[in-house]
Amino acid sequence: MAQKIYIDGEHGTTGLQILNRLADRKDIELLSIPADKRKDPDTRADFLRAADIAILCLPDDAAREAVALGRDAGTRFIDASTAHRTAEGWVYGFAEMAADQAGKIAEAQFVANPGCWPQGPIAGLKPLIASGLLPADLSISISGISGYSGGGKQMIADYQAMGDDAPAFMPYALGLQHKHVPEIRTYCGLSQAPIMQPAVGNFAQGMLTMVPLHLAHLDKVPSGSELHAALAEHYGSLTHSAIDVAPFDGKERSSDLNPQRHNDTNRMTLHVCANDARGQALLLAVYDNLGKGASGAAVQNLDLMIGRSG
């Protein structure tokens, strides 16, 4: 029987993207709340309890409320918000981050969809720390650029109103308290909080994350090709992966690193750059903040939870 799927927040940026990705699917039944009732708790409770799986595309407080409304009915959840990413009892919905993660997602009642920013840094760092090439106590700084759709409906409206007057590159989270720090630290297994210094660009969609690495002080300094080989082995060993690792040839072109390169897909490409003589390396990730960064990952998790492969 077709699984009943309810998207709470289907009119928002992430919800609409998920709806579009699921629109032609015959193997699921989409439950859709009337627009004028979308914030009515009683109506939402009915939909949340009728669904086999509810996908939450809401602000954090509304996501917590949705779980409280539906959990005792046995509804399974995929939460795209930040509310449950490091919460007890929730499985982190980043299928490629470890060999056994897809299996955990498939079995879970509660899946926290990862944040858009964390996925690139975690994709680069976690396998390298797990393999012992990088130590867990390494000092990590993360930067990059996101399209303005990362800020949801309000930021989209703000940028569209500014048009060509919008800044091409705008650093933010300058208090160094970005909301994604806890999940990056937790899932990479870092012993100290990374610095997360994001920026938003004057384009709607797409993302590039950068993690520069100082390695010269390590007892055993990994070369760029060793870092690359470990990532290629990890992602090459997975049965299903939306992540590929670019060749380690120092020939990255601007088209490869265009943040918009993977827009409207669920793909991510990792790049390793290095200066071995200085013991320095750089991990780059290119993906769509609304694709692999949000709705693509949510659909990937949904497919794992309903047993639909690849």
Ligand X SMILES: CC(=O)N[C@@H](CCC(=O)OP(=O)(O)O)C(=O)O
Catalytic center residues: 116
Reference 295, options 169, 103, 126, 119; nearest CA is 119
Q: Is 153 in the site for ligand NDP (CB under 6 A)?
A: yes
Interface residue with ligand NDP, options 32, 37, 39, 278 (CB under 6 A):
39
Is 198 an interacting residue with respect to ligand X (CB under 6 A)?
yes
Residues comprising the chain, all counted: 310
170-176's contacts with Cβ under 8 Å and 24+ in sequence apart are 170/199, 170/200, 170/201, 171/197, 171/198, 171/199, 172/198, 172/199, 172/200, 173/197, 173/198
User: How far are the Cα atoms of 103, 106, 148, 274 from residue 13, in angstroms, in the given order?
Assistant: 28, 25, 11, 37
Q: CB of 125: closest distance to ligand X in angstroms?
A: 17
- The tokens of 256 are what? 């490869």
CA angle 148, 154, 157 (to 5 degrees): 70
Given 58, 97, 196, 272, the residue binding ligand NDP (CB under 6 A): 58
Site string for ligand X, 134-173 (x = CB under 6 A): ------------x---xx---x------------------
15 touches ligand X by CB under 6 A? no
Q: How far is the CB of 275 from ligand NDP (least distance, A)?
A: 33
At 102, give phi and psi (nearest 5°): -60, -40
SS3 31: strand
The span of 57-65, 125-133, 159-167, 270-278 binding ligand NDP (CB under 6 A) equals 57-65
What is the enclosing helix (H) or strand (E) of 197? strand 195-197
**Rounded to whole angstroms, how far apart are CA atoms 271 and 243?**
11
Among ligand NDP, ligand X, none, what binds residue 198 when CB lies within 5 to 8 Å by partner kind?
ligand X
Judged by CB under 6 A, the residue of 30, 62, 130, 204 near ligand NDP is: 62
* Contact call for residues 148 and 169 (beta carbons, < 8 A): no
Site for ligand NDP in 76-115 (CB under 6 A): 80-82, 115
From 99-107, 145-153, 255-263, 264-272, span contacting ligand NDP (CB under 6 A): 145-153
Q: Contact at 8 Å (CB) between 302 and 5?
A: yes
Two tokens, residue 221? 């300094």
Contact partner at residue 39 from ligand NDP, ligand X, none, CB < 5 to 8 Å by partner kind: ligand NDP
Select from 101, 209, 263, 289 the one that contacts ligand NDP (CB under 6 A). 289
Q: Which partner, ligand NDP, ligand X, none, binds residue 58 by CB below 5 to 8 Å per kind?
A: ligand NDP
Which span sits near ligand X by CB under 6 A: 22-30, 109-117, 132-140, 239-247?
109-117
Instruction: List the single partner that 200 binds among ligand NDP, ligand X, none, CB under 5 to 8 Å by kind.
Output: ligand X
Identity of the residue, 180 or 271, whose beta carbon is nearer to ligand NDP in the bound complex: 180
Tokens linked to 214: 């100082």
Query: Alpha-carbon distance 69 to 52, whole Å?
Result: 14
Q: Which residue has the tokens 């899932």?
A: 187
Interface residues toward ligand NDP, by CB under 6 A: 9, 11-15, 38-39, 57-60, 62, 80-82, 115-116, 149-150, 152-153, 289-290, 293-294
